[in-house]
Amino acid sequence: MMVCITAQAPGLDAPVEPRFARAPFFIFVETGTGEVHSVANALCGNAGGAGPRVVQFIAEYGAEVLVTGQLGGNAERALQAAGIPAYAFTGERTVGEALRAFRLCALRELA
């Protein structure tokens, strides 16, 4: 399963970014193999309406699940349309900790 986690920097040790569409990086983790890809968000500085475009990007990258802090209404609707469930992970912790919490089913579903 491909999990996408919003991050402030590349890698599993990066702090989780609480904003979805404005996250500087997306960390994609293939849970079956442990393979990790850090991808810069080219849309993080765009004016309004980035949420649905970012959903399209992560869907095309293969994300099956999203872990983030919060979602705007447009992003939430786009995720639902794409069939990508989103889970809340808050606090100043790392992408690796967010991944562990997801694997333990310890996160609240957002969308």
Domain assignment of residue 12, yes or no: yes
Question: In one letter, which amino acid is 80?
Answer: Q
Q: What is the pLDDT of residue 44?
A: 82
CATH label of the domain that carries residue 70: 3.30.420.130
**Is there a contact between 31 and 55 (Cβ–Cβ < 8 Å)?**
no
Q: Is the pLDDT of residue 111 over 80?
A: no
Domain assignment of residue 55, yes or no: yes
Judged by average pLDDT, the poorest of 16-30, 34-48, 88-102 is 34-48
Q: What is the pLDDT of residues 42-67, one digit of tens each?
A: 988 776 778 899 999 999 999 999 99
Picking from 23, 34, 43, 53, the residue whose alpha carbon sits closest to that of residue 96 is 34
Residues near 73 by beta carbon (within 8 Å), at least 6 away in sequence: none
Domain count, the chain: 1
Structure tokens given for 56: 């399209």
Domain assignment of residue 22, yes or no: no
Domain assignment of residue 94, yes or no: no
Domain assignment of residue 95, yes or no: no
Q: What is the mean pLDDT of residues 76-102?
A: 94
For residue 70, the enclosing domain spans: 2-16+27-89+101-109
